[in-house]
């Protein structure tokens, strides 16, 4: 008999009209790293919410057996007391508080009078931080450290709760490759120390690298559990389980028909930080995109790619902007976002929840938002039935899964939200689309569909700029790739000559140069 730390048996959870989980079974052995894979909406997060008590006992059916005992968690404290800690995709840290304050939030180190013992707090925080390899001082404010380090603080926080079963929901979705590797290695280290982890991720190479077993969920049901003893599982094997069919090619084929016309060009484009105006974010950037071309931007977090895109999009970012911007060969001086849209530019934001969609508004409203005049008369009176019809057409075209266009965007899964966001910008009918991390945090099936949409757009003679931190997708999709580092373009590759190694080397070399200089 195997030694299971956790067994979830026949878990079923129904929401009105939807069966989110249907007799799901999950068995996790003590001391392993167990990956949970599945498309968006497959039920991974719901399952973990059941486990952590976020969905309390009584609202689901089935049993949770933890350490041999059947448990009934009514809230997150119940599960944490037994050492089950979940770290969510969206970090739950307060920027204005210190690392130590965040770490013991709700779990403060107090003396016998109930007053917080700050000395003990900072000392203990420092100890936990050492375990995760954080060299900051525990009195540093969260807002002053990067996302990668914030993720480590979350893990240190979990450790301070004497965690026995650590659940990580997409821990690397906002990390670059280097930080991701470090985090995974840390999990492997914890495993040696006897900790059990459940890892939810879309990045299959990470699954192959560190998971011992992989459970695949699809449409709220357990499909299979695969062993990965040698850490060399074929990614296609996992994909097959997730989508129920084999994706022979992860990137849809495209006819490369690149025109001579330059659709968007920047010359000596320089952007400074909006608040710390002396800080140069983008330094004399030159690039161009042709008609029918997909151009990729690779680089680490903070390389200045998003800022470049936003500043070109009607100066939505930055100060002291200088340089020239050309759209369709003509120099333009865009005053604001509206101006950019009217010149045929679209910027699809990197974070759909923060600055992409209005989550409490309907799909229909979100779809027409950037170009409402297209469904309104000249007096600004909206033709609501027409708006619904148009939105419905995009839902159909993009295979967005939703009961109706009246559905609130916030009720959709990540991949479907991304489709609504894309629909919004396709409705604006631009000539040049800048896509910032268009496939972040969405599943393989939806990714493929979004790639397909990109291909359709260039086939119509539009130009696409794709900013992405996932090198395989840049290599798979783009005609040309620019590599950025520290606000400068440090290399340019044609797709056929580019490799992950070359791109990384270009970034590292430019760092070396700086040290020498």
**H or E element in which residue 417 lies:** helix 414-427
Residue of 242, 201, 171 lying closest to 35 (CA atoms): 201
Residues linked to residue 65 through DSSP beta bridges, in sequence order? 7, 70
CB of 326 to other proteins, least distance (A): 20
Smallest CA-to-CA distance from 52 within 153, 166, 152 is with 166
- CB 495 → other proteins: shortest distance, Å? 29
Residues of span 338-377 touching other proteins by CB under 8 A: 338-342, 347, 349, 354-361, 365, 369-370, 372-373, 376
Q: Kindly indicate which of the ranges 119-127, 176-184, 223-231, 408-416 contains the residues binding other proteins, using the contact rule CB under 8 A.
A: 408-416
**424 part of the interface to other proteins, by CB under 8 A:** yes
Contacts of 54 (CB under 8 A, 6+ apart): 75, 76, 86
For residue 384, state whether it binds other proteins (rule: CB under 8 A): yes
Q: Which is nearer to other proteins, 113 or 379 (by Cβ)? A: 379
Does 58 bind other proteins (CB under 8 A)? Our answer is no
CA atoms of 348 and 415, how far apart (whole Å): 14
Which of 26/346 has CB closer to other proteins?
Answer: 346
Of the pair 283, 339, the CB lying nearest other proteins is at 339
Cα–Cα distance for residue pair 220/517, rounded to 1 Å: 56
Give the integer Cα–Cα distance in Å for 491 and 482. Answer: 6
DSSP code for 376: B
Burial 126-145, CB ≥16 within 10 A → b, else e: bebbebbebebebebebeeb
Which residues are CB-neighbours of 413 under 8 A, at least 6 positions away? 40, 41, 401
Pair of tokens at residue 469: 């931190």
Contact flag: residue 14 with other proteins (CB under 8 A): no
Nearest alpha-carbon partner for 225 in 29, 19, 443, 49: 29
By the rule CB under 8 A, 337 interacts with other proteins: yes
Per rule CB under 8 A, is residue 385 in the interface with other proteins? yes
Between 269 and 347, CB nearer to other proteins: 347
Handedness of CA 193, 194, 200, 206 (dihedral sign): positive
- Write the binding mask 290 to 329 for other proteins: x where contact by CB under 8 A, - elsewhere: -----------------------xx-x-------------
- Residue 379 interacting with other proteins (CB under 8 A): yes
| Shortest Cβ 442–other proteins spacing (Å) | 18
- Over 119-139, what HEC string results? HHHHHHHHHHHHHCCCCCCCC
**Token duo for residue 368:** 């027409």
Rounded least distance, CB 375 to other proteins, Å: 9
Among 244, 259, 410, 472, binds other proteins (CB under 8 A): 410
Q: Considering the complex, what minimum distance in angstroms separates the CB of residue 470 from other proteins?
A: 23
Q: Supply the minimum distance, in Å, between the C-beta of residue 48 and other proteins.
A: 17
3-state secondary structure of 167: strand
Residue 408 in contact with other proteins, rule: CB under 8 A? yes
**Which CB, 229 or 385, lies closer to other proteins?**
385
Residue 355 CB, shortest distance to other proteins, in Å, is 4
Distance (Å, rounded) from C-alpha 438 to C-alpha 504?
21
Q: Does 393 bind other proteins (CB under 8 A)?
A: no
Interacting residues with other proteins (CB under 8 A): 313-314, 316, 336-342, 347, 349, 354-361, 365, 369-370, 372-373, 376, 379-382, 384-385, 388-389, 408, 410-411, 424
């Amino acid at each position: 008999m195997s030694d299971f730390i956790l067994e979830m048996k026949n878990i079923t959870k129904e929401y009105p009209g939807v069966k989110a989980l249907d007799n799901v079974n999950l068995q996790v052995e003590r001391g392993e790293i167990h990956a949970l894979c599945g498309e968006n909406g497959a039920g991974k997060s719901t399952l973990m919410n059941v486990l952590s008590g976020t969905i309390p006992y009584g609202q689901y059916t089935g049993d949770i057996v933890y350490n041999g005992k059947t448990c009934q968690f009514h809230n997150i404290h119940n599960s944490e007391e037994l050492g089950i800690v979940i770290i969510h995709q969206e970090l739950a840290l307060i920027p204005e508080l210190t690392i130590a304050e965040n770490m013991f939030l709700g779990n403060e180190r107090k003396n016998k009078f109930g007053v917080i013992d700050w000395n003990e707090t900072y000392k203990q925080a420092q100890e936990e931080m050492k375990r995760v390899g954080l060299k900051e001082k525990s009195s540093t404010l969260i807002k002053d450290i990067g996302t990668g380090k914030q993720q480590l603080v979350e893990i240190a926080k979990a450790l301070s709760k004497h965690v026995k079963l650590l659940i990580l929901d997409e821990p690397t979705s906002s990390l670059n490759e280097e930080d991701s590797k470090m985090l995974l290695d840390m999990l492997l280290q914890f495993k040696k120390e006897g900790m059990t982890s459940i890892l939810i991720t879309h990045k299959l190479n990470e699954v192959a690298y560190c998971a011992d077993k992989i459970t695949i969920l699809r449409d709220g049901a357990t499909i299979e559990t695969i062993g990965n003893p040698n850490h060399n599982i074929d990614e296609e094997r996992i994909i097959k389980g997730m989508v129920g069919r084999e994706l022979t090619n992860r990137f849809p084929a495209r006819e490369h028909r690149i025109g001579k016309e330059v659709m968007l060009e920047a010359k000596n484009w320089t952007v400074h930080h909006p608040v710390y105006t002396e800080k140069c974010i983008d330094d004399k950037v030159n690039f161009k995109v042709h008609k029918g071309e997909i151009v990729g931007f690779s680089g680490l977090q903070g390389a200045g790619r998003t800022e470049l895109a936003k500043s070109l999009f009607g100066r939505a970012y930055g100060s002291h902007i200088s340089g020239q911007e050309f759209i369709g060969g003509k120099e333009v001086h865009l005053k604001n976002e509206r101006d950019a849209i009217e010149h045929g530019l679209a910027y699809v934001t990197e974070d759909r929840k923060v600055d992409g969609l209005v989550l409490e508004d309907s799909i229909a409203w979100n779809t027409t938002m950037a170009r409402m005049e297209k469904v309104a008369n000249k007096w600004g009176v909206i033709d609501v039935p027409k708006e619904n019809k148009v939105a419905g057409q995009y839902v159909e075209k993009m295979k967005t899964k939703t009961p109706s266009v009246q559905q609130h965007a916030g009720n959709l899964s990540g991949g479907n939200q991304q489709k609504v966001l894309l629909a919004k910008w396709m409705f604006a009918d631009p000539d040049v689309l800048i896509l910032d991390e268009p496939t972040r945090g969405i599943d393989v099936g939806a990714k493929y569909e979004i790639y397909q949409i990109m291909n359709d757009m260039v086939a119509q003679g539009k130009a696409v700029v794709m900013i992405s931190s996932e090198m395989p997708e840049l290599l798979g999709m783009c005609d040309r790739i620019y590599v950025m580092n520290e606000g400068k373009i440090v290399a340019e590759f044609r797709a056929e000559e580019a490799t992950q190694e070359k791109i990384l080397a270009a970034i590292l070399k430019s760092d070396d140069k700086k040290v020498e200089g």
